[in-house]
């Protein structure tokens, strides 16, 4: 793994652990265990700094629920689907901002795309590379994919 890829992976780990802990009050720690997942909904955001990178969050349903309930301090059933979706997309937006700061520094300028929902992770094109990080929250294991373009 190149030194730039290691920096990106470290930044991703920092962003995930900080955002989960500070925004959703969930301890997320890196693990080598891949999640057992039935991908139905992925959350994607593009970050343009000195390079262009895409963060894709693949969360199990139970973890999505826990994030939303912790942020809103309300039961899932009491929230509208638009509030739930907005919460998860804003969570991704905060995670991407944390990644940008960890990746390029506090003073760096970078742009975030609008977060979006997708159903598949596309294959990497020539000149692109995927890395994936696995994280455990105690009850759940989830994946965060990082697509880097040079």
Residue of higher predicted confidence among 54 and 4: 54
pLDDT band at 38 (very low <50, low <70, confident <90, very high): low
Q: What DSSP assignment string belongs to 26-58?
A: ---EEESPPP----S-EEEEEEESSSEEEEEEE
For the entire predicted model, the pTM comes to: 0.90
65-100, pLDDT tens digit by residue?
Answer: 999 999 999 999 999 999 999 999 999 999 999 999
**How many domains, the chain?**
1
So what's the pLDDT on residue 119?
Answer: 74
So what's the pLDDT on residue 104?
Answer: 92
So what's the pLDDT on residue 138?
Answer: 87
pLDDT band at 124 (very low <50, low <70, confident <90, very high): low
Burial class (CB in 10 A: 0-12, 13-18, 19+), 22: exposed
User: Average pLDDT for residues 36-64, to the nearest whole number?
Assistant: 86
What are the angstrom distances between the C-alpha of 36 and each of 79, 92, 130, 143?
27, 21, 19, 10
Domain range spanning residue 54?
Answer: 3-149
So what's the pLDDT on residue 2?
Answer: 78
So what's the pLDDT on residue 40?
Answer: 62
CATH code at position 19: 3.40.1550.10
């Amino acid at each position: 793994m190149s030194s730039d890829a290691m920096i990106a992976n470290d930044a991703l780990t920092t962003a995930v652990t900080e955002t989960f802990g500070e925004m959703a009050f969930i301890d997320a720690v890196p693990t080598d265990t891949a999640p057992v997942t039935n991908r139905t909904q992925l959350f994607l955001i593009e970050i343009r700094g000195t390079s262009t990178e895409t963060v894709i969050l693949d969360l199990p349903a139970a973890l999505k629920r826990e994030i939303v309930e912790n942020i809103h301090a309300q039961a899932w059933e009491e929230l509208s689907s638009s509030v739930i979706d907005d919460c998860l997309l804003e969570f991704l937006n905060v995670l991407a901002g944390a990644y940008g700061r960890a990746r390029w520094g506090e003073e760096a300028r970078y742009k975030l795309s609008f977060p979006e929902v997708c159903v598949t992770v596309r294959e990497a094109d020539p000149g692109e590379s995927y890395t994936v990080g696995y994280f455990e929250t105690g009850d759940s294991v989830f994946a965060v994919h990082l697509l880097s373009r040079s």
